[in-house]
Amino acid sequence: MKRFQLKATTTVLVMLCLMYFITYVDRVNISTAAGQFKSELGLSNTQLGFVFSAFAYPYVVFQFIGGWVSDRFGAKRTLIACALIWAVATTLTGLAGGFGTLVAARLLLGLGEGATFPASTSAMASWVTRDRRGLAQGITHSSARLGNAVAPMLVLALMTAFNWRFSFYLLGALSAGWLVLWYVTYTEKPGDHPRITAEEISSLPPPTVRPAEVPGTWLRLYRRLLPVSGVYFCYNWILWLMLDWMPLYFMHSFHLNIKKAVLFTSGVFVAGVFGDLVGGLVSDRLLRRTGNLKLARSYMVSVCMSLTGLSLLPVLLIHDPMYSLVFLAAAMFFNEMNIGPMWAVPMDIAYDRSGTASGIMSGTGFTAAIVSPVVAGYLVDRLGSWDVTFLLSIGVMVCGVGMTFFMRPGVVFGTQRRNAGRVERRAALPLVDE
């Protein structure tokens, strides 16, 4: 009997899913461990908010740089370098002795993980067909949300059996293991993979030809993606409020012990896993049935953001842990439905610069991860209540809905020289945008 083997395209997607899972475990494990180290290291809620957000500062910068690097040097080398840095950073977090060393370790983690998602999007541009981009992004990001859901229980189990420091040592070793697997399984060009079939090659996009860089291209692409980046900022506001503060929200608002708080938090994050999958499936199905990119991307995101904001209203009005769990899970589900269409948009707009385009979107939008945790910590310290934080988040969702109508996913970005001048060429895809 012939030994079962995954297709080459499936293998690449599985490796990216593993990366998304591991990176999100490594970046959100801090919120569960905070239950132990906050008192041990004598940190206030405001300091803890800065520890949470420290990850985001270099992460934002290297979203921009990493996207360009992955387009220039390839996803394989980019992700090998990233994995090495984030594995070391995760291990160093377990060695932290106070506020300063915790912040330093989180800064290094953000540096290592900054280029990961733009680089993986660059890889997907070559390894995934256009009508499955939303699904591919949904599957990989659902793995990230699975990491969110597993991290609290995993870290709690390791903390109970050992201590919070050991959990970071073990997770650092897991990251190093992924690096080795990526090195031996991924090829930059699908045609170079030893197990690729002719059928797979025929279904994939043609090899990416990197266009010559014209001065000012990056700035024009940045301006083109501003509405997309703004919408992604609003998505990240809700996401990082939940990723960083959910365990402590349930502990402080309802006086739950850490085990119950972790269980409730995992319930919220599990909803996000399904949201990513459903969002990618729905977006691609709408695209295949209608050929309308604006419907499949922009309008779908506007509906999902509206439902996210509406799901937060009962959390404000009903002070009960079970109701909060249900409606926060609903908010997480609808917010995560945005991921598939949102990460497909940079590939729709700039296929030949997918890494750079997704880095611009994610880097700009990820600034919410800097602001949101600190604002939440400050408001809780000053007001002793989460109501204003959730009310503010609903307002952010309203802004996001408004910006979705300016994304224009069906208008392709391009550059060319004309005489001595530099112009931007915009051409419609063989898919409609209206």
Does residue 206 lie within any of the structural domains?
A: no
SS (H, E, C) 60-88: HHHHHHHHHHHHHHCHHHHHHHHHHHHHH
pLDDT tier at 4, thresholds 50, 70, 90: low
Question: What is residue 262's predicted lDDT score, i.e. its pLDDT?
Answer: 79
pLDDT single digits (tens) 376-402: 888 878 887 788 888 999 999 999 999
CATH code of the domain covering residue 117: 1.20.1250.20
Provide the pairing of β-strand 421-428 with 411-418: antiparallel
Range of the domain at 292: 8-200+224-428
Percent of the chain's residues with pLDDT above 90: 26
Does residue 95 surpass a pLDDT of 90?
no
Residue type, 228: V
Most confident range, picked from 167-171, 305-309, 351-355: 305-309
**Average pLDDT of the chain to the nearest whole number:** 82
Q: In the chain, how many domains are there?
A: 1
Chain-centroid distance, C-alpha 332: 13
Q: Is 219 inside a domain boundary?
A: no
Residue 424, pLDDT score: 35
Query: Is 423's pLDDT higher than 50?
Result: no
- Domain assignment present for residue 433? The answer is no
CA gap 222, 137 in Å, rounded: 21
Pair 25, 238: CB distance under 8 Å = no
The helix (H) or strand (E) run that includes residue 384 is none
77 domain-assigned: yes
Give me the DSSP letters along 260-320.
Answer: HHHHHHHHHHHHHHHHHHHHHHHHHHHHHHH-BHIIIIIIHHHHHHHHHHHHHHHHHH---
Helix, strand, coil percentages (3-state) for the chain, rounded to 5, are: 80, 5, 15
Give per-residue pLDDT as tens, 205-226: 666 555 556 667 778 888 999 9
Does the structure show a pLDDT above 90 at 232? yes
Residue 249, in any domain of the structure:
yes
Any domain includes 309 = yes
Within-domain flag for 112: yes
Does 208 fall in a domain? no
Given a cut of 80, is residue 275 above it in pLDDT?
yes
Global pTM reads 0.75
pLDDT of 31 over the 80 cut: no
